[in-house]
């Protein structure tokens, strides 16, 4: 029997005062979003190349849709991992993260 799922839509707007990791150039930041505990379902949001430590995704396609088990609502969280691109310098670096708790009940639309 298939598990009932709901779709959670999350739109990233901006971040501020992220940890600086690029000493020579402005940071170019993107986000990776997934249900905590299920990194296989990662979704990447476009890179903000202008905001540096204060990226903004306003006016960009920064909406992700996650399939959340209806029975698991309230017991999990969405992880938003903010990363700085580091071309040729040993890989991208984590510069911030947030966990968004899932509501106890997800109402249908």
3-state secondary structure of 39: helix
70's tokens: 């209806």
Mean pLDDT of 2-22: 85
Mean pLDDT of 85-93: 79
The DSSP-derived string for 60-95 is S--EEEEEEEGGGTTS-EEEEEEEE--TTTTS-EEE
Domain boundaries in the chain? Answer: 5-101
Mean pLDDT of 59-85: 83
Residue 45 has what DSSP assignment? E
pLDDT > 70 fraction of the chain, expressed in percent and rounded: 83
Assign 31 a pLDDT band (cuts: 50, 70, 90).
very high
CATH class of 5-101: mainly beta
- Position 5 scores a pLDDT of 77
- Cα gap 64→44, rounded to integer Å: 8
Q: Identify whether the C-beta of residue 76 lies closer than 8 Å to the C-beta of residue 37.
A: yes
Mean pLDDT of 64-68: 88
């Amino acid at each position: 029997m298939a598990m009932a799922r709901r779709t959670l839509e999350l739109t990233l707007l901006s971040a501020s005062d992220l940890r600086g990791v690029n000493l020579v150039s402005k940071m170019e930041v993107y986000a990776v979003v997934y249900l905590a505990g299920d990194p296989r379902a990662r979704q990447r949001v476009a890179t903000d190349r202008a905001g540096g430590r204060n990226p903004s995704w306003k006016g960009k396609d920064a909406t992700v849709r996650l399939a959340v088990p209806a029975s698991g609502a309230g017991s999990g969280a969405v992880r938003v991992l903010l990363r700085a691109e580091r071309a040729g310098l040993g890989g991208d670096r984590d510069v911030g993260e947030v966990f968004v708790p899932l509501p106890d009940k997800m109402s249908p639309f």
